[in-house]
Amino acid sequence: MILEAKEDDEIKEMIVLKSGGRNDRDGISRFPGGDFNDGGKALLLPPSNFAMVDNGIYRSGFPGTMNIGFLETLNLRSVVYLCPEPYPDDMAAYMNSVGIRIFQFGIDGSKRPLVTIPNGSIMGALRVLLDIRNHPVLVHCKRGKHRTGSLIGCFRKLQNWCLTAVFEEYVRFAGTKARISDLSFIESFDVSCMTECVLGIIYRYHGGCGSQARRLSYGDLS
């Protein structure tokens, strides 16, 4: 089921709500698209460019059915999908079967010079990352390089990383395909716009978004 989220301040979000509970965890993938070894155990093959960003936040290239065994070890609640194309049926079926929500923010992956990253899409995706109710969450685009790298770069600015470190991380994943336009977007992204988001204020207040920061749960607010 695909629901059009509200448009507010040029933030355009497509949210795919996946219902259903998780299967019992016994180390065996129950999804027919998963790969298995001779012992019946799911093979733990991570998606391309996979890495941990922070506690409860991961990044990668597009996961496929061969990665399902590995994804199950992450106990994901959500996926932030940064491509405009519909999610593949086989992986959408898997996400649905285990109750993972897919938040889609369609960003054009073209490298044409006049194509820019929508600021509203990045802000919307950051809101998902800042909300601990969505954790653990996986961020991905097609190859986990440009769109994912741009989003994570903006997230690092929220964590008060210096630009040199932010750019080094971007290049580490993008390699020789690094784009000046992405780096310029990251540099110009104004993190102060996120202070208007209550979630961002909470996240920054408790340790500046660092890996050792305490996440304030919504239960703490009541």
**Two tokens, residue 112:** 């044409």
Q: Among 192, 191, 11, 198, which Cα is nearest to 119's?
A: 11
148-205 tens-digit pLDDT: 999 999 999 988 899 999 999 999 998 888 888 888 889 999 888 776 665 554 555 4
Residue 136, preceding peptide bond in cis (omega within 30° of 0): yes
**197 catalytic residue (yes or no):** no
Candidate list 141, 154, 197, 209, residue with the active-site label: 141
51-94 tens-digit pLDDT: 999 999 999 999 999 999 999 999 999 999 999 899 999 999 99
Q: Are 172 and 113 in contact (CB under 8 A)?
A: no
43-52 tens-digit pLDDT: 689 999 999 9
Q: Indicate the length of the chain as a whole number.
A: 222
What CATH number is given for 43-202 in this structure?
3.90.190.10
**What mean pLDDT value characterizes the chain?**
75
Residue 42 bridge partners (DSSP) = 36
Q: Are 203 and 158 in contact (CB under 8 A)?
A: yes
Using CA atoms, how far apart are residues 82 and 148, in angstroms rounded to an integer?
Answer: 7
Residue 13: is its pLDDT beyond 70? Answer: no
pTM to 2 decimals? 0.72
Q: What angle do CA 50, 145, 214 make, to 5 degrees?
A: 55
Q: Where are the domains of the chain?
A: 43-202
Q: Is 178 helix (H, G, I), strand (E, B) or coil?
A: coil
**Two tokens, residue 193:** 């716009």
**Two tokens, residue 139:** 């961020």
Residue 52 bridge partners (DSSP) = 58
